[in-house]
Structure 1
Amino acid sequence: MDYCFVEFEPKDGQALRRLGDFLKRVMIAKEDDEFDGAGLAGFFSNVEVAYFWKPTDDEMKEWNDEWFSTPVAVRLSAAMPNPGWTLESMLSALWEGDYDLLGVVEGDARCRLAFNPHGYPYGGTGSLVALVDCFGHTVVGIEDGSGYAPHKPRTNPWLPNKARRPRGHWLARLLRWKG
């Protein structure tokens, strides 16, 4: 293997072309060292933008309150629910990622968003997975430099508005379990 990748099953040819076209824009921007978040954000359709979390001020406050009141050991674990990516955070992570984007490599049934990390840690693959997902593709695996692994989507998203949460907040249940 000459590169790392996010492997996915494409939704359809049009969505695959859109992902490839967007990646080319980001690759050129990174090469020219000219980040234009608003210009890049303008590329996305309404359906693609709808994938991303758009928190209200109250939701952001609620998330920050929960994040900063959670013990660090729990906060940084897989047990911590997280909100989805915002469009802006994904674009920022793509820009700040310590890797070269190489483009989309097409296969028979699966494709790969290829990248070449400059070192480790390089920023992770979360933003790349979000990018593939927002175009409607299905991520099936990731080769992040440490070996290929099937992709396991998070099953514990953070949801704002405590009234919509089941009885017994997740953190209280986790802390009781850990004793």
Structure 2
Amino acid sequence: MPTPPLIQPGAQPDVQVWDPFVRIFHWSLVACVLTNYFVVDDGKDLHQWIGYAASALVVLRIVWGFIGTRHARFADFFPTPSRLRSHLVALREGRIEHHAGHNPLGALMMLVLMATVLGLGVTGFLQTTNTFWGEEWLQELHELIASALMALAGLHAAAALLMSRIERTNLVAAMFTGVKRRF
């Protein structure tokens, strides 16, 4: 797999990175997760449909990861062991790498978050089937995965703020505008 491009010092400071689909996916998924966790009662029809919507969003994002725009494609940022190792060494040494798309740790987090949402979708769906309806262990697993998702989402948000500061790039704004701006 080729190494993803880095934004070199002195290079163009504004980089068009996330397309509208990626941004809409991201904020729609955030809305689904927060609504289901904090607003809607567990087990209600609305909770189930929001969960299905979140799972469908992740499936669409996986497809977009193969056919989408450059920085949306998994090939552009997939967190291989060598990419992760190189990124961690750079961080430890205080070298700042400005990745055009996701850095390797951000890419890993994105994949873990998507897998966690799919795990929630599967465990939630299984609770509606005759085979698993009322199974306490499955309900507990679903709740455990939901709590893990919230912890991971919090870590993701904190890391985005920290990396924005380290890289001097407003990553949160970039997820709204699609443009990474150095400051």
TM-score for the superposition, normalised by structure 2: 0.26
Higher fraction of strand: 1
Alignment TM-score, normalising by the size of structure 1: 0.26
Select the structure with the greater relative contact order (CA < 8 A; seq sep ≥ 6).
Answer: 1
